[in-house]
Amino acid sequence: MSILGTRVVRTEDPVFLTRGATYTDDLTDERLTGALHLTLVRSPLAHARITAIDVEAARQAPGVVAVYTGADLGLDPVVLFPGANKGMKRPWLATEKVRFVGEPVAAVLTEELYQGPDAAELVEIDYDPLPAVIDLRAAATDEVLLFEDVGTNTAAGHGVDDEPAADLFDGCEVVVGHEIVNQRLAAAPLETRAAAAVWGSDGRVTVFCSNQNAQGARDEIARWLGLDRDRVHVILPDVGGGFGAKIGADPEFALVAHLAKLSDRPVRWSESRSENMTGMLQGRAQRQTITIGGGRDGRVKAYRLDILADAGAYPRLGAFLPQFTRMMAPGTYDIERLDTRARVVVTNTTSIGAYRGAGRPEATAAIERAMDLFAAEIGMDPAEVRKCNVIAPDKFPFTSKGGVEYDSGEYAKAIDKALEAAGYAQLRAEQAARRERGDAKLLGLGVSSYVEITGGGAYAENASVEVHPDGTVTVLTGTSPHGQGHATAWAMLASEHLGVPIEKITVRHGDTDLIPRGSGTMGSRSLQTGGVAVYQAAGELVELAKQRAAELLEANVDDLEVDKERAAIVVRGAPGAKSVTFAQLAEQERLQVDTVWDGQKPSFPFGAHVAVVEVDRETGKVTVERLVAVDDAGPVLNPLLFDGQRHGGIAQGISQALLEEVVYDSEGQPLTATFADYGFPSAAELPSFDLVDMQTPTPINPLGYKGVGEAGTIGSTPAVQSAVVDALAHLGVRHIDMPTTPLRVWEAIQTAAKGAE
Amino acid sequence: MSTRAKVEITVNGRPTSADVEPRLLLVHYLRDTVGLKATNIGCDTTSCGACTVLLDGESVKSCTVLAVQADQQSVTTLEGLAELSPGGEPHPMVRAFRAEHGLQCGFCTPGMVLAAVSLLAEHPDPTERDVREGLEGNLCRCTGYHNIVRAVLSAAGKDPDAEQRREAESDAARIAPAFSTGEAGA
């Protein structure tokens, strides 16, 4: 029987549940003995000139070994993300001006942990405040510049030079539009950023850090510090969540490495949550203008999406992500005419990077809002409008107007399954009854249809599988789990070929000396790239074992097969004949293969979600009563892990719709810099989720797997937002920006009531 | 900060003592003085519960307790949980978290497990709603709480499927006709 597709509990868990995982700040590695603690002095102002820095008092504080300012580092400002305006360089420690609250200005190294903040208090920095630019539209006017020498706040443009199609909506009976906000979110992994660095006598630096991609972090640290990459060794201990914000190095990691060099001591750093909420990459942050047109029969003909996106103060991956939004703009729909563009501007805020979904949730939220507006305008049920516009199953592979080839999909079927599981028709009747009675608790239904891109960008991944003479197996992977369960899942894929029980299979990742090549875990890529690579490597190892066994068993290779019960090569159809185990073969000669799987394409998981919410008409409070999710990512390797990914994604998606938003005041002061202020959901705010199974394989890999890590987030946000608006639709409400807080909902109700008077 | 205070704290059944700064947080005492690293720090504001331990059997957030406040008391961390269960077997809560996939990255897990142990000590027969509200002070970013709630129900000896159905049906009752006007039958 195949282990693939079965519910297997995680091999990671016994240690995690008894001794705890080992995160970067937990390391007791002897190389870090005597490490100094780094405390960063961060800017309290969003935009200001630095007129003086005095570190003398801090240098005299107990336990202080060194205090550095930017002038002491000997490092030039650096372009963190080459895909954006190359004039927008980030200093390692700000010297002339600061551009966001939380920007590092001085670095304090102390013998003991508690001495750091004490000494940091004594660093005196004089600032001359400048007007801060927080609002995206204000930033786009270039009236206040973050980088005066660059002369513009525009960090990147995607399709901005294309002439907008003037005749886009020709022939449309109905055209509706809206300006909507896809708000800034904090990734907020429970483990904040942490790094530790030590230089060896060989002139190499070892950097331990919390990250999603060791090899990428190595390359960035090397590039930023001007080192040959062979001189940087990155090791990832266990990682306490990433959600996109731990893709590649952060400048602080390289700074830790550089300070270890300057101080000639190991250095370690683990940030506080309030540092994390201003220093770690944040996500989303788009202002979108959507326009949709079509016929009263429900057919959509044209769609326009104009994006103004926030890069934060120093452009990072967020300067590119609106390109993903454009690519996925038409969603699951067969729309004749599409017009999109995105402009990305810098503001005096924390930099924007990837956050679960990274550019695609913004696309789905926009098109789904547009579909709802269109449905409301023509008076058709929103689920019906979607079904009459989705791409038909016989059109795959389908080249979308976003310029990508959707591999496989059954979009209408997914919608139907979700509607059926939710009991949509009955819920609509209940909604009407409540409206009729004038109930205080209104019912809202939201339907989303989504398709997303997984494994976009890095289509290949490497894997190595080795059987040892004691019968144990080591798998090396270039993916980089931080909660996803690769140790279990990759062991299952190897076990499928070898028959070795998963308890005897060790999966290793995140050490650039051991695994020099790899693209990490992001963009829901791991299973369809790294997992398939492990499966392929184990298959190749079987072939190698057969070659060697053929001689020993004096049999034709074609007559050999694997006896999975015994993890051995046997002669087919000859019970009792000679056989040889993988372990015995490994005793004779090292039994190991390296391979690369290259799918050459991304895949396109899809699904449909239905949200049922209750809205208290008097307080504006929204309660999610049900969330029904059909998430089709092809065949399922391990339903326990698969559903776990969906649960987490759905929770984050609901939370964007209802609770979460990073807020700045007009001077750029963050108002949500702790977990006491940020709308992080607890168990009490969420329901259990109704998951519905559907599996449509992709042709791009032999196992048919697509990615599922971000699907839940992408599908649930628009379903919930739509449900909140739907609850108030009879009052004339057409849109409420996220998060749909009680205040916003209450205001929408009041405004609608005034309009009705 | 030259004043130091001597503390004696029983940690996981073993006596520990040290001269500490009066401002030393219990979580740093556990992690850095005693060297038990399972207890994590996830925030600065007593919001996330990653640092939850049992202090004389009750769950506390060890980032909001000074080591000196725990003097002459006993602390249980995740590492010591096995000692609370009969026969040295994995604790029922630990087994339930594994069986139900109640953890992903594992960072909230030590605190979550101890908060859940404390919850069941107070409410041995909880509903899904009780579990959700009882764990409100412990944040998880990975699981959406779905499987954490199942694990706690399961550790309480309940069938998580049945409990989730019951909760869903109670929601259905809430959205049934007349309930929202307060006219539904009891």
pLDDT of residue B175: 46
Q: Which class in CATH covers the domain with range B85-180?
A: mainly alpha
Neighbouring C-alpha atoms within 13 Å toward the C-beta of A755: 11
pLDDT for the residue numbered B31:
98
- Mean pLDDT, rounded, for A206-216: 98
Q: Which one of B142, B147, B165, B174 makes the best mutation probe of the A interface by having the most chain A beta carbons within 10 Å?
A: B142
Say yes or no: B6 contacts chain A, CB-CB below 8 A. Answer: no
Tell me the residues of chain B between 53 and 72 that have a Cβ less than 8 Å away from chain A: none
* Cα distance between residue A308 and residue A291, in whole Å: 15
As a whole number of angstroms, the distance between CA A475 and CA B80 comes to 32
A403-A596-A210 Cα angle (round to 5): 85
Nearest chain B residue (CA) to A428: B175
Q: What pLDDT, on a 0 to 100 scale, did the predictor assign at position B88?
A: 72
Nearest-neighbour CA in chain B from A26: distance (Å): 6
> Does B180 score more than 80 pLDDT?
no
Distance of alpha carbon A214 from alpha carbon A516, whole angstroms? 9
**A471 to chain B, closest Cα gap in Å:** 26
Under the banding of pLDDT at 50, 70 and 90, the label for residue A341 is: very high
- Which tokens sit at A361? 């949730």
* Spatial separation of the C-alpha atoms in residues A584 and A469, rounded to whole Å: 6
The per-residue b/e assignment along A63-88, b for 16 or more CB within 10 angstroms, e otherwise, is bbbbbbbbeebebeebbbbeebbeeb
Average pLDDT rounded to a whole number, residues A164-187: 95
pLDDT digits (tens, 9 = 90+) for A586-611: 999 999 999 999 999 999 999 999 99
DSSP letter (8 states) at residue A311: E
Beta strands A337-346; A300-312: pairing state? parallel
Complex confidence, ipTM: 0.97
What integer pLDDT is reported at residue A575 of this predicted model? 77
Q: What are phi and psi of A590, to 5 degrees?
A: -50, 130
* B2 at A interface, C-beta within 8 A: no
Among the partner residues A17, A243, A433, nearest to B94 by beta-carbon distance: A17
State mean pLDDT over A461-488: 98
pLDDT in tens, A607-637: 999 999 999 999 999 999 999 999 999 999 9
Please state, in angstroms and rounded to a whole number, the distance separating the CA atoms of residues A688 and A627.
Answer: 8
What stretches of B12-137 adopt beta strand conformation (E)? Answer: 14-20, 52-55, 58-61, 74-76
**Are the C-beta atoms of residues A598 and A722 closer than 8 Å to each other?**
no
- Cβ within 8 Å of residue A446, ≥6 positions away: A382, A609, A610, A611, A613, A718, A719, A720, A721, A722, A723, A724, A725, A726
Asked if residue A329 has pLDDT above 60, the reply is yes
Q: In what order do the strands lie in the sheet with A560-563?
A: A560-563, A568-571, A579-581
High-pLDDT (> 70) share of chain A, %: 100
DSSP state of B91: P
Domain boundaries, chain B: 1-84, 85-180
Q: Which residue of A has its CA nearest to B51?
A: A190
B21 CB neighbours in chain A (<8 A) are 114
Chain B contact probe: residue of A190, A636, A642 with most B CBs at under 10 A: A190
Q: What is the pLDDT of residue B173?
A: 44
Spatial distance between the Cα atoms of A324 and A357, rounded to a whole number of angstroms: 10
Cβ <8 Å between A648 and B144 = yes
CATH 3.90.1170.50 in chain A, residue ranges: 34-130
d(CA A81, CA A102): 19
Please check the confidence at residue A26 and state whether its pLDDT lies above 50.
yes
> Does the distance separating the beta carbons of B101 and A644 come in below 8 Å?
yes
Nearest chain B residue to A114, by CA: B24
Closest CA–CA distance from residue A337 to any residue of chain B (Å): 38
Q: ∠ at Cα A605 (A391, A508), nearest 5°?
A: 165
User: What is the arithmetic mean of pLDDT over A236-251?
Assistant: 97
Give the SS3 label for residue A236: coil
Q: Does B121 touch chain A (CB under 8 A)?
A: no
CA dist A333 and A336 (Å) reads 9
Q: How far is Cα A653 from Cα A641, in angstroms, rounded to an integer?
A: 18
pLDDT value of position A94: 98
Distance from CA of B127 to the nearest CA of A (A): 13
Tell whether A699 lies on the interface with B, counting CB pairs under 8 A: no
- What does the longest C-alpha to C-alpha distance in chain A come to? 93
Please enumerate in sequence order all residues whose Cβ is within 8 A of that of A201, keeping only pairs 6 or more positions apart, or say none: none
Read off the pLDDT of residues A522-555 as tens digits, 9 standing for 90 and up. Answer: 999 999 999 999 999 999 999 999 999 999 999 9
Which contiguous run of DSSP H or E holds residue A755? helix A742-756
Spatial distance between the Cα atoms of A186 and A178, rounded to a whole number of angstroms: 25
Report whether pLDDT(A1) > 90.
no
Which residues, other chains included, contact A663 with Cβ-Cβ below 8 Å and sequence gap of 6+?
A670, A671, A672
Residue A166: predicted pLDDT: 85
pLDDT for res B85: 67
| pLDDT over threshold 80, residue A363 | yes
Contact A101, A277 (CB under 8 A): no
CATH architecture of structural domain A456-598: 2-Layer Sandwich (3.30)
Q: Tell whether B181 lies on the interface with A, counting CB pairs under 8 A.
A: yes
Residue-level pLDDT at A629: 98
Asked if the C-beta of A169 comes within 8 angstroms of chain B's C-beta atoms, the answer is no
pLDDT the model gives residue A372:
98
Residues forming beta bridges with residue A199, ordered by sequence position: A205
How distant is the Cα of A125 from the closest Cα of chain B, in angstroms? 24
Tokens of A355: 């956050």
Residue with tokens 């729309």: A335
Which is higher by pLDDT, B1 or A469?
Answer: A469
Cα B78 from Cα B52, distance rounded (Å): 9
Residue predicted with more confidence, A217 or A248:
A217
pLDDT score, position A164: 79
Q: Name the least confident of A14-23, A272-281, B170-179.
A: B170-179
Whether the CB-CB separation of A100 and A46 falls below 8 Å is answered with yes
Q: Is A21 on the interface with B (CB under 8 A)?
A: yes
Task: Encode pLDDT of A123-163 as tens digits.
Answer: 999 999 999 999 999 999 999 999 999 999 999 999 998 88
- Residues of B with CB below 8 A from A439's CB? 180-181
A34-130 CATH fold: Aldehyde Oxidoreductase; domain 3 (3.90.1170)
Q: Tell me the chain B residues in contact with residue A485 when contact means C-beta distances shorter than 8 Å.
A: 104
Q: What distance in Å separates the CA atoms of residue A718 and residue A371, rounded to the nearest whole number? A: 11
Judged by CB atoms closer than 8 Å, whether chains meet at B143 and A647 is answered as yes
- Looking at the complex, does the CB of residue A192 fall below 8 Å from at least one CB of chain B? yes
The pLDDT confidence band at residue B182, using thresholds 50, 70 and 90, is very low
- In this structure, are residues A645 and A709 in contact, taking their beta carbons and an 8 Å threshold? yes
Residue A507 has pLDDT above 60, yes or no: yes
Q: Where are the alpha helices (DSSP H) in A126-281?
A: 136-140, 214-225, 251-263, 273-279
A706 or A164, which is more confident?
A: A706
Nearest CB among B78, B82, B177 relative to A433 is that of B177
pLDDT band at A193 (very low <50, low <70, confident <90, very high): very high
Nearest CA in chain A to B45: A676
Candidate from B48, B147, B181 with C-beta closest to A647: B147
**DSSP labels, A535-574:** HHHHHHHHHHHHHHHHHHHT--GGGEEEETTTTEEEETT-
Query: What CATH fold (topology level) applies to the domain A358-454+602-756?
Result: Aldehyde Oxidoreductase; domain 4 (3.30.365)
Q: Write out the residue limits of the CATH 3.30.365.10 domain(s) in chain A.
A: 1-33+193-270, 358-454+602-756, 456-598
Residue A664 is given by DSSP the state: B
Distance from CA of A645 to the nearest CA of B (A): 7
Examine the pLDDT at B1 and tell me if it is beyond 70: no
Size of interface A-B (CB pairs under 8 A): 211
Q: Kindly state whether A625 is in contact with chain B, defined as any CB-CB distance less than 8 angstroms.
A: yes
In the prediction, which pLDDT does A514 show?
Answer: 98
Contacts of B33 in chain A (CB under 8 A): none
- β pairing state of A232-235 and A205-209: parallel
For domain A1-33+193-270, the CATH architecture is: 2-Layer Sandwich (3.30)
Mean pLDDT of A701-723: 98
Residue B171: the pLDDT is 63
What b-and-e string marks burial along A414-435, b requiring 16 or more CB atoms within 10 Å of the CB?
bbbbbbebbbbeebeebbeebe
> Is residue A409 scored above 70 in pLDDT?
yes
Contact check, Cβ <8 Å, B104/A243: no
Which of A507, A417, A420 shows the shortest CA–CA distance to A464?
A507
With CB atoms and an 8 Å threshold, state whether B28 touches A113: yes
Residues 6+ apart with CB under 8 A from A30: none
A670 touches chain B (CB under 8 A): no
CA-CA distance, A744 to A736, in Å (whole number)?
7
CATH topology of domain B1-84: Ubiquitin-like (UB roll) (3.10.20)
Contacts of A644 in chain B (CB under 8 A): 101, 104, 142-143, 147
A:90-149 residues touching chain B, CB 8 A cutoff: 113-114, 118
Q: Which one of B44, B108, B131 makes the best mutation probe of the A interface by having the most chain A beta carbons within 10 Å?
A: B44
One-letter amino acid for residue A690 of the chain: D
Q: Between chains, do A191 and B105 touch, taking CB under 8 Å as contact?
A: yes
Angle at A40 between CA A38 and CA A46, to 5 degrees: 165
Looking at beta carbons, which residues of chain A come within 8 Å of B43?
Answer: 273, 674-675
pLDDT at B184 over 60: no
Distance between CA A45 and CA A63 in Å, rounded? Answer: 28
Residue B172 has pLDDT above 70, yes or no: no
Residues 441-500 of chain A whose Cβ lies under 8 A from any Cβ of chain B: 441, 443, 482-485
Interface of A with B in 416-445 (CB under 8 A): 427, 430, 433-434, 437, 439-441, 443
| Contact check, Cβ <8 Å, A674/B38 | no
At A280, list the tokens.
């770690």
What pLDDT is stored for residue A577 in this prediction?
81
If you average pLDDT over residues A705-730, what whole number do you get? 98
